[in-house]
Amino acid sequence: MNIEQLLNPTTAPATKKNSKELGQDDFMKLLVAQMKNQDPNNPTDNGAFLAQIAQFSMVNGIDKLGMSFDSVATSMSSTQAMQAAGLVGRQVLTETNTAWLQEDQPLGGMTEIPEFADGLNIQVRDNYGKLVKTLSTQNFHAGDYAFNWDGTNELDEAQAPGEYSITATALVNGKHLALPVQLYNTVESVTLERNNQIQLELDNKTRVNLANISQYR
């Protein structure tokens, strides 16, 4: 499933107002003081007062709008955090070369094959760098390519659960080209940071931002 179903655009937190800036109360005090101390023989034009009052109303409206946006942003962040909590125990796809093999569960991932690739090689290695298995890559084509490792070696012997690495290369114009790899890992916990960024703790001991997850299952 696509992670965009969990994400909604968020508004950046409102910038804290500088204490040296004039606020609404200061504006009203200046306006009243101006009216009290105007020259009786040369009073301020009514239109000028109306213009200042209009400016005050506009500033007041902008401040209220900013508060509303801040409230909406906080609410949306909380909603996203609750939705992200639903990912705990599920697998998410992220760009990495390592993943944790679960017992009786295949390890899946994706890579992107370039145009004019004449060959594709995907290898699984254990935590010590030893080659465990070369995956079958028949009928591949340019674009996204999904693959699965059933957790066995070349002799079809089941391997122990643990961390494994997967690399992919393509043969293009007679040269081996390293390809980016995305792997599924299980979400162990979710953290909401102070900057409203949602971080996912994965079972391969990495942390990723929720926004960097492309798919989940």
- Dist. CA 1–CA 91, nearest whole Å: 10
Determine the pLDDT at residue 134. Answer: 97
Cα separations in angstroms, 180 against 69, 94, 166: 38, 11, 10
- Dist. CA 95–CA 168, nearest whole Å: 13
Instruction: From 83, 85, 77, 87, select the one nearest 196 (Cα to Cα).
Output: 77
Neighbours of 190 (CB within 10 A): 19
pLDDT in tens, 113-138: 999 999 999 999 999 999 999 998 88
The residues that bridge with 135 in the sheet, in sequence order, are 122
Query: How far is CA 79 from its chain centroid?
Result: 15
Cα separations in angstroms, 128 against 113, 115, 124: 27, 33, 11
- Dist. CA 143–CA 24, nearest whole Å: 57
Residues of the chain with pLDDT under 70: 1-28, 30-32, 34-78
Neighbours of 80 (CB within 10 A): 20
Determine the pLDDT at residue 11. Answer: 46
